[in-house]
Amino acid sequence: MAFVQKTLFPASRAAVRSRFQRSALPVVVHPFLRLASTMAPKLKDPSLFKQNVCYVNGEWVKARSGKTFEAHDPATGNLIGTCPEFDAKDTEDAIAAAEEAFEAFRKTTGRERSKLLRKWYDLVVENADDLATLITWENGKPTADAKGEVTYAANFFEWFSEEAPRIYGDTIPSSIPGNRVWTIKEPVGVCGLITPWNFPAAMITRKIGPALAVGCTVVCKTPGETPFTPLALAELAHRAGIPRGVVNIVTASANTAEVGEVLTTNPTVRKVSFTGSTNVGKLLMRQCSGTLKKLSLELGGNAPFIVFDDADVDLAVAGAVASKFRSSGQTCVCANRIFVQRGIYDEFAAKFAAAVSKFRVGNGFDENVTHGPLIHARAVDKVEAHVRDAEQKGATVVLGGHKLPELGPHFFQPTVLTGMKTDMAMASEETFGPVAGLFPFDTEEEAVRIANATPVGLAGYFFSRDLERVHRVAEHLEVGMVGVNTGLISDPAAPFGGVKESGFGREGSLYGIGEYQVTKMVTYGGMGKPLQS
Ligand SMILES: NC(=O)c1ccc[n+]([C@@H]2O[C@H](COP(=O)([O-])OP(=O)(O)OC[C@H]3O[C@@H](n4cnc5c(N)ncnc54)[C@H](O)[C@@H]3O)[C@@H](O)[C@H]2O)c1
Ligand SMILES: O=CCCC(=O)O
């Protein structure tokens, strides 16, 4: 199937050039940007593109109301397609399907579930190009990044397919003579999963992988911005032979709160796992309290990225670029505040800005584009507000600093600011965009104190070659994940999650399994008698 797109946001190279001349500042001048493209994405297997249907009880169904919502390409603004606007009743149907399926699925062996997940993994890998196309289309990230996300997403299925047959209970020495104590790890039950748009595939597989590995069934509400990648994953689940009702994928946009309320209050749902903003996470936690569901919250971050004088500056620059600008700054673990010790501040700032100046911004489908659009206009407005706030409070815009309306309303220049101070909005709020602010600091104690001066604690990074400092600082950072001399920490084998208002629970790794289990203890009395003669 060919998808013909006409750009709604025509651009001219001259307009882009003049925009850059207005905004480029002293250290380095941005080279030329890539223009938004009218290129039409094509799928090798068009049947992966599911419109107007959700996947419930092994079937493709419409919303009972017949209502749909539109999803748009963030690069061009063009309509991608329409999806069912599920409501409370539709969601209850999906929960009922998951409940019915749970009875049989919980009794399958780990080896059987492993094979199902492995088959799904194989299909994701086989269809990686199409999944990447869908991700770029609806999320905007460049094709290379989208392919990277598909690999990352698939790896959660692979990892948890390998964990499924290795779910062990414990034997526990009792303190009461004659008693024998052991534990059984059981699936918690039907799980409600709610995921964000910034990783349309990986945030879902990171939840479904462990849920299925232990024998749970799921109802997953996709983000309104990026419903088509999850629906393609559902089609692959079907082809993999995942039993009906085990995986249910529902879509909603205007009805998001209504669907969320059902998932968090319906007593059949025994576990909710949410990835998204801290504010929504708090709301869902309140809603879950009525039925005391098991809960995992993967929420917002405000990651500190500290570069000490003893760091390898080039390595730190590469790490900061990778961490800050991944998905155009739209990941929860992106560096949000870059602290650079005064002795290397100028060198770091110059090298960092030079590296950022090499980016090519544009439509993610365009060859050579390194950074795509932001997800929507609200995101762009927030980024701009953060830059203007910093500027007004004395920061210097070294590179970028402006919207790129010539490319479309969702594009923003990769931006570097120096002279950042802690009273600026960027110090306390997650920017979630392509803006890097460099804060100078003098001592290790000061850096750690400022890094921790935030209510959230997801990821933190630092660069140092001093072994004692590495241990000291890693131990003092109030975060759930620390990157030392690297800006990339995501790995299905490693526990992902936060502390403080970044939430609780861990995804990926051995620890990700426990989030979908309950531990049942069995005490067997009268077992201490002597051998019978
Ligand atoms: N910790 C992590 O692992 C992680 C990963 C990705 C994103 N995030 C965070 O997510 C935020 C960005 O994503 P976002 O803007 O889409 O967040 P968001 O909280 O607005 O939305 C996340 C998901 O929740 C849904 N949602 C929104 N309101 C809801 C409600 N009342 N009931 C049920 N569902 C509801 C959305 O439709 C979406 O599917 C950032 O703060 C980022 O740091 C965290
Ligand atoms: O945006 C949050 C998730 C990013 C990741 O898993 O690396």
> Residue 10: pLDDT above 50?
no
The ligand 1 atom nearest the CA atom of 379: 15
Distance 6 CA to ligand 2 centre (A): 31
End-to-end CA distance of the chain: 79
Distance 490 CA to ligand 2 centre (A): 7
Mean pLDDT of the chain: 93
pLDDT of residue 18: 32
Residue 34 pLDDT level (bands cut at 50, 70, 90): very low
Residue 492 pLDDT level (bands cut at 50, 70, 90): very high
Residue-by-residue DSSP string for 467-481: HHHHHHHHHH--SSE
Average confidence (pLDDT) over 200-204 = 98
Instruction: Indicate whether residue 198 lines ligand 1 (CB < 6 A).
Output: yes
pLDDT of residue 20: 31
The ligand 1 atom nearest the CA atom of 224: 37
The ligand 1 atom nearest the CA atom of 221: 39
Q: Whose CA is nearest to atom 4 of ligand 2?
A: 331
Average confidence (pLDDT) over 515-524 = 98
Distance 207 CA to ligand 1 centre (A): 14
Instruction: Evaluate whether 436 touches 417 at the Cβ level (below 8 Å).
Output: yes
> Residue 399: pLDDT above 80?
yes
> Residue 174: pLDDT above 60?
yes
**Active-site residue list:** 298
Instruction: Evaluate whether 310 touches 465 at the Cβ level (below 8 Å).
Output: yes
> Residue 6: pLDDT above 50?
no
Looking at all shown ligands, the one closest to residue 221's CA atom is: 1
Instruction: Indicate whether residue 225 lines ligand 1 (CB < 6 A).
Output: no
**In this predicted model, what pLDDT tens digit does every residue of 280-313 receive, in sequence order?**
999 999 999 999 999 999 999 999 999 999 999 9
Residue 272 pLDDT level (bands cut at 50, 70, 90): very high
Could you tell me the maximum CA-CA distance found in the chain, to the nearest angstrom?
A: 99
Instruction: Report how far residue 277's alpha carbon sits from residue 114's, in angstroms, rounded to the nearest whole number.
Output: 32
Distance 149 CA to ligand 2 centre (A): 10
Of 51, 41, 188, nearest to 129 (Cα)? 41
Best residue for ligand 2 mutational test, from 296, 324, 333, 374 (most atoms within 8 Å of Cβ): 333
**Which strands make up the sheet holding 190-194, listed edge to edge?**
59-61, 54-56, 247-250, 217-221, 190-194, 269-275, 294-298, 503-504
pLDDT of residue 242: 98
Looking at all shown ligands, the one closest to residue 139's CA atom is: 1
Average confidence (pLDDT) over 346-360 = 98
Of 9, 230, 229, 35, nearest to 219 (Cα)? 230
Distance 198 CA to ligand 1 centre (A): 9
pLDDT of residue 227: 98
**In this predicted model, what pLDDT tens digit does every residue of 406-452 receive, in sequence order?**
999 999 999 999 999 999 999 999 999 999 999 999 999 999 999 99
Instruction: Indicate whether residue 332 lines ligand 2 (CB < 6 A).
Output: yes
Q: Which residues pair with 125 in a beta bridge?
A: none
pLDDT of residue 9: 37
> Residue 482: pLDDT above 90?
yes
**In this predicted model, what pLDDT tens digit does every residue of 457-478 receive, in sequence order?**
999 999 999 999 999 999 999 9
pLDDT of residue 40: 52
The ligand 2 atom nearest the CA atom of 489: 7
Instruction: Indicate whether residue 197 lines ligand 1 (CB < 6 A).
Output: yes
Q: What percent of the chain has pLDDT over 70?
A: 92
The ligand 1 atom nearest the CA atom of 197: 16
Q: What percent of the chain has pLDDT over 90?
A: 92
Q: Whose CA is nearest to atom 37 of ligand 1?
A: 223
Looking at per-residue pLDDT, the higher value among 214 and 528 belongs to: 214
Instruction: Indicate whether residue 181 lines ligand 1 (CB < 6 A).
Output: no
Q: Which two tokens stand for residue 214?
A: 């232990």
CB count, 10 Å around CB of 353? 25
Instruction: Indicate whether residue 260 lines ligand 1 (CB < 6 A).
Output: yes
Looking at all shown ligands, the one closest to residue 492's CA atom is: 2
The ligand 2 atom nearest the CA atom of 330: 1
The ligand 2 atom nearest the CA atom of 334: 1
Tell the residue number behind the tokens 């935030």, with chain if given.
Answer: 454
Instruction: Evaluate whether 361 touches 31 at the Cβ level (below 8 Å).
Output: no
Residue 41 pLDDT level (bands cut at 50, 70, 90): confident
Q: Which two tokens stand for residue 459?
A: 């990821």
Instruction: Report how far residue 259's alpha carbon sits from residue 261's, in angstroms, rounded to the nearest whole number.
Output: 5
Distance 178 CA to ligand 1 centre (A): 51
Average confidence (pLDDT) over 260-266 = 99
The ligand 2 atom nearest the CA atom of 152: 6
**In this predicted model, what pLDDT tens digit does every residue of 89-128 receive, in sequence order?**
999 999 999 999 999 999 999 999 999 999 999 999 999 9
Instruction: Indicate whether residue 331 lines ligand 2 (CB < 6 A).
Output: yes
Q: Which two tokens stand for residue 387?
A: 């830059």
Instruction: Report how far residue 364's alpha carbon sits from residue 142's, in angstroms, rounded to the nearest whole number.
Output: 4
Instruction: Report how far residue 324's alpha carbon sits from residue 443's, in angstroms, rounded to the nearest whole number.
Output: 23
Please state the pTM of the whole predicted model: 0.93
Instruction: Indicate whether residue 198 lines ligand 2 (CB < 6 A).
Output: yes
Looking at per-residue pLDDT, the higher value among 175 and 14 belongs to: 175
Distance 359 CA to ligand 2 centre (A): 21
Q: Whose CA is nearest to atom 36 of ligand 1?
A: 223
Distance 371 CA to ligand 1 centre (A): 22
Task: Give the containing element (helix H, strand E) for 483.
Answer: strand 481-484
Looking at all shown ligands, the one closest to residue 141's CA atom is: 2
Looking at all shown ligands, the one closest to residue 278's CA atom is: 1
Instruction: Evaluate whether 94 touches 248 at the Cβ level (below 8 Å).
Output: yes
Q: What is the ipTM of this complex?
A: 0.95
Instruction: Indicate whether residue 285 lines ligand 1 (CB < 6 A).
Output: no
Length of the chain: 533
Distance 331 CA to ligand 2 centre (A): 6
Best residue for ligand 1 mutational test, from 207, 261, 262, 332 (most atoms within 8 Å of Cβ): 332
Distance 254 CA to ligand 1 centre (A): 15
Instruction: Report how far residue 334's alpha carbon sits from residue 459's, in angstroms, rounded to the nearest whole number.
Output: 8
